[in-house]
Amino acid sequence: MNIHQIQISYSDQEDRLLMSINSTENEEMRLFLTRRIVTSFLDILNQTISHSLLNKPELNNMEKSACEPDKELTPQQMQQQMAHQAKHQHIVDESDYATPFNTGNKFPMGEVPILVVKITINIHQDNNVSFVFVNTDGEDINFNLNPQLLHNILDLLAKVLPSTEWNIGLLDKNNLLIAESEKNLILH
């Protein structure tokens, strides 16, 4: 499936996010994302974007820093984080948010949204990423994304989260996300 457009909205009746993905072939996939899935998805999405912005970092180092949220950042790390945010904002600013979402006329997985129970992200050597969404029946739904689509998904999530009342919010307009956790707040 060649992704053409992505739309994320909040369904207050379902208390879930609805991610609609439209292809260049006019096929549409609809996915329901729960609060639990979105919270873990945001964490791994932020890590994946950081990974794509760095010059081939070792993923283990990235995972170690993510596991130490109370550790203070060095001035160099803070500068790198600000540079990442500037790159992210530039990519988002270059995106087309003016074109309305086109509802597909083909629904390969059906018109009813699929409940996602697990998301796996694979990073390829060419910096492209594939998402594997697993539904309640254990079926895999695979999407290949370029780095720009990663940034767009994060931006769409950041725009829709305030309407959810899930205690996942924005620190500021630079898409720094804070999520409630066992240790109070974690800053990404």
- Of residues 66, 75, 19, the one with CA closest to residue 179: 66
Q: So what's the pLDDT on residue 83? A: 76
Give percent above pLDDT 70 in the chain: 79
Cβ contact 24:150 at 8 Å:
no
Which pTM does this prediction carry?
0.74
Of 147, 173, 154, 144, which is closest to residue 8 (Cα–Cα)? Answer: 154
Q: Of the ranges 9-13, 60-64, 93-97, 131-135, which one carries the lowest mean pLDDT score?
A: 60-64
pLDDT > 90: percent of the chain: 32
pLDDT, tens digit (0-9, with 9 covering 90-100), for 17-67: 999 999 889 999 999 999 999 999 998 888 888 777 764 444 434 433 444
Note the pLDDT of residue 169: 57
Check: CB of residue 174 under 8 Å from CB of residue 188.
no
d(CA 83, CA 75): 12
Contacts of 33 (CB under 8 A, 6+ apart): 16, 17, 18, 19, 41, 116
**Residue 47, helix vs strand vs coil:** helix
Which pLDDT band, with edges at 50, 70 and 90, does 114 fall under? very high
Contact indicator for 53, 150 with CB cutoff of 8 Å: no
Identify whether the C-beta of residue 177 lies closer than 8 Å to the C-beta of residue 188: yes
How far is residue 116 from each of residues 136, 176, 181, 182, measured CA to CA in Å? 7, 25, 21, 24
Terminal-to-terminal C-alpha distance of the chain: 31
The pLDDT value given to residue 71: 61
